[in-house]
Amino acid sequence: MNGLGGLNKSENGLVIGLVQLQLPVVETKAQLTAQTARVVELVAKARRNLATMDLVVFPEYMLHGLSMDTNPEIMCSMDGAEVAALKQACIDNAIWGCFSIMEANPGGNPYNTGLIIDDTGEVQLYYRKMHPWVPVEPWEPGDTGIPVCTGPGGAKIGLIICHDGMFPEMAREAAYKGAEIMIRTAGYTAPIREAWRFTNRANSFCNLMVTANVCMCGSDGTFDSMGEGMIVDFDGSVLAHGQTGRPDEIITAEVRPDLVREARLGWGVENNPYQFGHRGYVAVKGGAQDCPYTYMTDLAAGAYRVPWEDDVAVTDGTVCGFPAPSRSFGEKDPS
């Protein structure tokens, strides 16, 4: 049930719009400014398109395209013109928005940053992509953790970006922090289509969580992004799916955070987020609450190492034309 794409909004519903944004080419400051204006236009289109819409979501790379260009001229800042324009668009159209910027990072590579801005122009969630799509992407690994904010109607919303969603731990962390809806923005191209579909559904079901997922769309003359806007309910069923590949189409559905809460409280079978930390509670009071997972304890100890570690062939970005890094995580570039 999705309220006919959100046309019929229920008392406890939240209507989401996913913009399958045309993949742009952005090489100059002027092109960045023009692409920002295009996104602002589409925020207004979303509001005109559906008066009931609460939150409009744009894909990763919405301002920069897929060139992986780290030219400082086309990087954004939180106090810059691009973010100011996005804030004003949310105010002017009385709508919440989820946006993507490539953010300047003095002393390191730029961050791939996601923002959720409310209908008064305030940033409610700020997230730096934890898992850049190596070896293709040059972005600094994120250091914000996985934040969750309170969104329209009191819904708890988390945000991850693209490759993040291929790690089940990311969705679980969002759910563990209380997210009832998890947004996943992406720039993925067609070879990832099937993995995109089944990970979106798995992320929802495994965490009793609505997911709202959208990619860039169309071609920039080199890459072909796939759109594939997907809104998936907490039981893994697909509420809406943009399969036409039409650039700038807005995929919409109503979701019900109240039913997520109901399931998390009332389900016995497959109440996965709770049961993960309460193993076998039928046999032992409260269930086992230990951590039997070696990869977790090793990672926490800074000793993560897969059995095939020494034989991994690709461990930096040189295969994609990037220089081998010399900094360790957390160190600044002295230049």
User: Which tokens is 106 given?
Assistant: 């003095």
Give CA–CA dist 251/155, Å, rounded.
Answer: 20
Q: Is 129 a catalytic residue?
A: yes
Q: Is 60 among the catalytic positions? A: yes
DSSP state of 212: E
The one-character DSSP state at 144 is S
CA distances from 47 to 214, 234, 244 (A): 18, 26, 22
CB count within 10 Å of CB 118 equals 20
Q: Is the peptide bond before 247 cis (omega within 30 degrees of 0)?
A: no
From 90, 149, 162, 215, active-site residue:
162
| Residues ≥6 apart with Cβ < 8 Å to 33 | 81, 82
Q: Are strands 249-255 and 14-20 parallel, antiparallel or unpaired?
A: antiparallel
Which pairing describes strands 55-57 and 96-103: parallel, antiparallel, or unpaired? parallel
Catalytic hit among 60, 140, 228, 254: 60
| Cα distance between residue 235 and residue 28, in whole Å | 44
- Going from the C-alpha of 196 to that of each of 163, 188, 239, 241, the distances in angstroms are 9, 8, 16, 12
> What is the enclosing helix (H) or strand (E) of 93?
helix 81-93
Q: Which of 228, 161, 239, 260 is nearest to 171 (CA)?
A: 161
The rounded distance, in Å, linking the Cα atoms of 252 and 16 is 6
Contact 196, 186 (CB under 8 A): yes
Q: Which of 82, 103, 129, 140 is catalytic?
A: 129
* Catalytically active residues, by annotation: 60, 129, 162
